Each structure stands twice: as structure tokens, then as C-alpha cells.
Structure 1
Amino acid sequence: MTPQEVKQYILEFVEYMNRKRAQINYNSVQAHIESQLNRKVPIRTIRRYGKSCGLKWRKTRQMTAHDADDDYWTAISEFRKLLREINKDQLIFIDEVAIYSTMVPRRTLVASGQQPLILVQEPSAYAKRFDFIAAINGSQPIACGTFTSEQRVSLRVKGFRQKVINQWITDVLAPVINQLGIKDLYLICDKSSSHNRVSMMQALRAGKCYRVKNILHMPTGSAKYISPLDNPLWHSFKETIRNKHPLILFDIPAVLSQTFYSLSRSQVSKK
């Protein structure tokens, strides 16, 4: 291959595929070269040319379509700017997370010749799911609730649906907000279909709470970049639960509540 062919059909082709965020290997490069030059080129030759061009094998990293979208990052930037213009104590973030009855610690000390095995009552795949909802204000956890599998069966729902969340807002969150004594609050949540702005505001009013000025939805798929609950608070929360293994099924709702309220201000404010 001539230097120009190497540049055009190897280097520039790999650069093109990299910009497309697509996986590329020497078999793909070989197929491209042979289709363009209409002749066979040994893959060993292509590897040699690739090495001379500075091509290297690198471990891949995942990137979603959102991550590559400039409009997505602009929306996140604008939303963050909006939040910075509001006093931190006027912000309330709410979010939900699934917790399972079997969540073993990720690490354990192991002596030489032994295995890192943890005894469980049932495999994680068959563990009971507990749906946990929580709210934080400023640097403090203020409200939470646990929705059990029995409650899901009773209400014939698969998880946190709109009516479940709104009832929690009326019964639990609204009284807590009133106790904060702060006016013109903003409730921040993701764009889940369960988080309907109108019905959530009605749920607050049903709980005699009139201190929330507006409910703001974060841009789609941006919670991990904006909400302190989604990142890194839920991670710390889950790791604490794992380290309490084994859990008694009956005690799990109380354990979840105690763990959430025991989160330190530094953990909550770490954004």
C-alpha cells in the first residue's frame, strides 16, 4: 500500500469510526480496504501499517446517545444555572430507588486457601424488592418511605406509581415541609410519568402544604449529574445496607428509614 492509501484507508477510516463512537477492529479495516482497492491485502500487513500510524488497542468506555448530544449538556448546564440562582435551603430533591432483601457486601476478607463466599437465605435473583422513596432539603434528609411487595400486591401495582407517590407526598412529605418553616420551596424530581406536576401539587395541597412554589423536572436522563440523591447518595445508602447483611425481612423498612436519616450532612451535600 502506498503512504496515501495507508493514510486514507487505514488511519482516516479508524478516525472516522472513532468519531462515530463505533467499535473498530483490523478485520473491519481489512474489509474496508479490500472494498475500496478491489484487491486482497493481508491482515498482517494492515496491522503493521496500523502500528506505524500510531493505532493502539484501548479499553472501551460506554457512552450513551445523551452523552454525545450537545443539546443534552446545554439543558443540564441551564438547569444547574437555574438551581444556583435559588437558595439551597429552598430546594427539595425527591427520588426513588429499589432495595432488595438480599444485598451482600461486595468485599470480604479471605484467608489463604479460602473462598469469598457469603451465606444467604435466598439468591439475589429471588430476593424481595422494597421500593424506597426519599427527600432531602439543603444538606439534610427530611422524609422517606418504603413500599413493600405486599403493598404492591394489595394495590395491584408493580412499583411506585403516581397514586402511591402522591399519597406519600400528602401523608408524609407535606407535613414535614410545613415543619421546615421555609417559604417558596422548589420540589426537584426526574421526568418519570409518576411525577406529574399538577397531581403532585394537588397532593401537597391535600396535605395542607402551600409552601412549594413550583415543581421542577430535571432534563431527561440527567439526575446523576444534578440530584444529590441519584449520585452519590444512593450509592452510599446501598453500600451501608449491604454492610448490614444479613437483614431480617420484617425489619427492612425500619432499617432503610434509620439508614437514610443517619446519613451525615457531608454525605448529603456532596454533589
Structure 2
Amino acid sequence: MDPARGKRQLDTLEQRFQLDESFLSSPNTAALKSGVIRAADRRTGDPVVLKYWVKTGTAVDADFRELWRHEMRQSERVRAFPRADEVVVEVTASGESDDAFYIAMPGDVAPLEHAARFVRPDHWLRNLQGARQRALLWKNVRRLGEALGAVHGQGLVHGRIDSRAVYSAGAATKPDFRLGGFEFCLRVAEINKAPLRIIAKSRPVGSVIFSFLDDWRALGQVVTDLVGLDASTLEQEEIQFVEGRTRLDLRSSEIDLI
């Protein structure tokens, strides 16, 4: 008997999906950060965006499994809130292969940290000095505020709002920002006993927060980064812009909102 016939064939992520050559968001195993990449389902040919945690063969895989399951549960829960399905990223599929845990999202979205870097020079994100472009920015911020309201309305704290947790299809004429990244989302009533809190405190996962107020502050930081403001000067009489960013003629109401 051929010994190979008795062995189970490996079922890897790349056997299920044809992965793009570059990441939309790079993984960081030490910080429990997933990778995000464009891909195509090999069975159907449909384009998807995959968020996945690569298995390491160590105890950290138990943490990855917990984050993966938590992301799926909380995403479904938040999207069930009225109108949240319009402002929260859809999880279209999920699974576990021999080498990874993953969720699939629509193929046209990308994390904002990627989208903001690689949009065309004439895209509204690159031309925020214009009134029309800034109006589009604030409509997108409103969408994120509605998404965060849905999270908090379910008694949850998001925990890690940044440009990796915001998704965009790069639309040039209409607001399309959506909130995602729910792997560290926690119920306020369960924060002290939640296993994810223990994971967050035991590993260098960066900024993970557990309050409604800090969620809103984190959203404000996303906007601050988009417009190029130096956050440390927001309380000063004259705000400053980060070196190399275009100075915008912001209205007082815009600065106050940020």
C-alpha cells in the first residue's frame, strides 16, 4: 500500500484561495494582528478580501482561534442593530484551514490605512482643501459614528478603532466608510472576566481600550490622521499640521468636532 494514500491531504489557505501578491494590511503575530489581503475563491472565482490569522503551531493559536470566533460573533451581532448593516463591514464567509483562521469580506473593500495611501492623486482623500471633498469626509465620519453607535447600542466597546478597522471601497463620489475589526469587541458588563481582556493584557497588542469614551477618542484620532492635524495641538489657540501634510483651512466647527 502506498503510505501517501493513508495521509490526509493538507487543506491550506492558498489551496482554497488565490492570494494577491501584496497585503492590504500586514500581519503581526506578536501583536495578534491579522493579515488582510485580496484573493479569489478557487471554487467560484469570486473576488474576496480575506482577514486571516496564520497558525504558528504554538499556544498562541488558541488566542487566534478566540479572536477569529469573536470577530464572527460580534460582527453578526452589531450588523443586527437597526441600519448597522449599511455602515458595518459584511462578513460573507469564514473558515479554518490547516494553516489559518479566516473571514471573507466583499472583494471591493480595503482597510483605510491602505486606501488612503494608494488612491489616485485626484481622489477626494488627497484633496481635502476643497469644500466638496471635505463634505464627503464628514459624511463618511457620520457613517462611522452611526456604526460606533450601533456597537455601543449593543452594550459593546469596540476596543481598537484605527485605520485598520475602517474599510472603504475607495468611492470618489459617495460616502462608503464601514467599521470592522471586531476581534477585541467586548461587552461592558463582562470586561473584567472576558478572556479577550486577559489576552490583550498579556501580549503586546498595542492600544486596546475598554470604554465608550475612548472609542470616540480613537475615532477622532482616525479623522485627525486623515486631515493631517498634529493631535497634540488641538487644545492650542493655533492648531498645527503634521510636517509634510497640506495645511487645510478648517472651520472652527470642524476643529471642535475633531
**Global fold match (TM > 0.5):** no
Q: More helix per residue: 1 or 2?
A: 1
Structure ID, larger Rg: 1
Q: Which has the higher contact order (CA 8 A, sep 6+)?
A: 1
